[in-house]
Amino acid sequence: MGRLTTHVLDTAHGKPAGKIRVELYNLDNGRSLVKQSVTNDDGRLDSPLLEGDNFITGRFELVFHAGDYFSALGLQLPDPPFVEDVALRFGISDSSQHYHVPLLVSPWSYSTYRGS
């Protein structure tokens, strides 16, 4: 059965990024909040964002509140920060597969990929 998962790595410090707020939105027929969660000390969520009957095809957006995370670390950041809220838009075309959408982030850059 398919599911949607994520994790966040702090590439500036070479460690998982714990306590990052993550929001998932469905973009089909407008933009509606599906779920909110916070990463654990391993930079992962304690459960999938979507799974079972809730894991459907469509267009989605993940929003990672990275600016709040880096501010909480006590980093001196410009105002406004260069990387604040990271919004990743992606599609789920096969609800039988595992979609893993990780975020690698620093105060100055970010990247993502479809993981396994």
Tens-binned pLDDT, residue by residue, of the chain (116 aa): 799 999 999 999 999 999 999 999 999 999 999 999 999 999 999 999 999 999 999 999 999 999 999 999 999 999 999 999 999 999 999 999 999 999 999 999 999 999 98
Strand 103-105 relative to strand 98-100: parallel, antiparallel, unpaired?
unpaired
Nearest of 37, 35, 41 to residue 9 by alpha carbon: 41
SS3 of residue 54 by DSSP: helix
Number of domains in the chain: 1
For the entire predicted model, the pTM comes to: 0.96
Q: Which two tokens stand for residue 70?
A: 């880096």
| Token pair 């990275």 in the structure block, residue | 66
Predicted pLDDT of residue 70: 97
Predicted pLDDT of residue 52: 94
What single-letter amino acid sits at 101?
A: V
Domain with residue 86: its CATH number is 2.60.40.180
By residue range, what is the domain housing residue 13? 3-112
